[in-house]
Amino acid sequence: MGKRILLIEHETNLARFLALELQKEAYQIDRCETGQKGLHLAKENTYDLLLLNYDLLDMTGEEFAESLSLIKPASVIIVMEERETLPQHLENIQRFAVSYLVKPFIVNDLIDKISAIFRGRDFIDQHCSQMKIPTSYRNLRLDVENHLVYRGDEVIVLTRREYDLLATLMGSKQVMTREQLLERVWKYESTAETNVVDVYIRYLRGKIDVPNQKSYIKTIRGVGYSMQD
């Protein structure tokens, strides 16, 4: 059975076109026009990916992602945004989405991006489950099946990109260079710059670290990052 995608887009013609093109690729598509309806569908169903307009009729993509994180943590999200407004929203988009597309875009670019994301996703999930990578470090613990992270008994809410980064670092017995992390976690983003790794390390530390205590992630100056003692 094909991967299941939720499309949230109020531009009817665009939504219909994208749904038809993605169905040709054997994806199962559900679609709706509002963030509230999208949240309801996400709660009732399991989706492999969510594709949404940043400027929803009833909320922003950031507000949608924040509400979604309470229902389905670490969801895989791609955002569609207008070129004119992307600069003012880009930092927020990068906090919760695994990728974004600038409207108007070529549908084949979207299909290629989705295919590559699923390949990368499947690799990380299989690496975690089948190869039995370490799923705990100090008092951090990965729930691989549900893509959750615990610090002690507390659930730490991460985006899917942050979860993938943490799982990759936790599973490596060696120091990971920025280039290696780009390949593992951002492999479908060929234009990604190496500073995106540093940005997401900062996001991740902001969520998992405890103030005034040693960071879980070590910076190896001139090399990269590690979570090994």
Terminal Cα-to-Cα distance of the chain (whole angstroms): 42
The boundaries of the domain holding residue 148 are 133-226
Q: Does residue 127 fall inside a structural domain?
A: no
Task: Please state, in angstroms and rounded to a whole number, the distance separating the CA atoms of residues 185 and 173.
Answer: 17
- 114: amino acid identity, one letter: I
Question: What is the percent of the chain with per-residue pLDDT over 90, rounded to a whole number?
Answer: 53
- Shared-domain flag, residues 15 and 82: yes
Q: Which residues contact 143 (CB under 8 A, 6 or more apart)?
A: 135, 149, 150
Looking at residue 33, which CATH number applies to its domain?
A: 3.40.50.2300
Domain boundary among 87, 119, 151: 119
Residues 44 and 144 in one domain: no
Q: What is the pLDDT of residue 128?
A: 54
Do 153 and 206 belong together in one domain? yes
Q: For position 131, what pLDDT does the model report?
A: 45
Q: Are residues 103 and 145 in the same domain?
A: no
Residue 59 has pLDDT above 90, yes or no: yes
Whether 125 maps to a domain, the answer reads: no
Q: Is the pLDDT of residue 21 over 80?
A: yes
Task: Give how many domains the chain has, as a whole number.
Answer: 2
The answer to whether the beta carbons of residues 171 and 134 sit under 8 Å apart is yes
pLDDT in tens, 145-156: 777 899 998 989
Answer yes or no: do 113 and 159 share one domain.
no
| 209 to 8, 34, 206, 212, 218: CA distances (angstroms) | 34, 35, 6, 9, 12
| pTM: predicted TM-score of the whole model, two decimal places | 0.74
pLDDT 10s digits, 142-185: 887 777 899 998 989 888 889 989 988 988 888 999 988 888 88
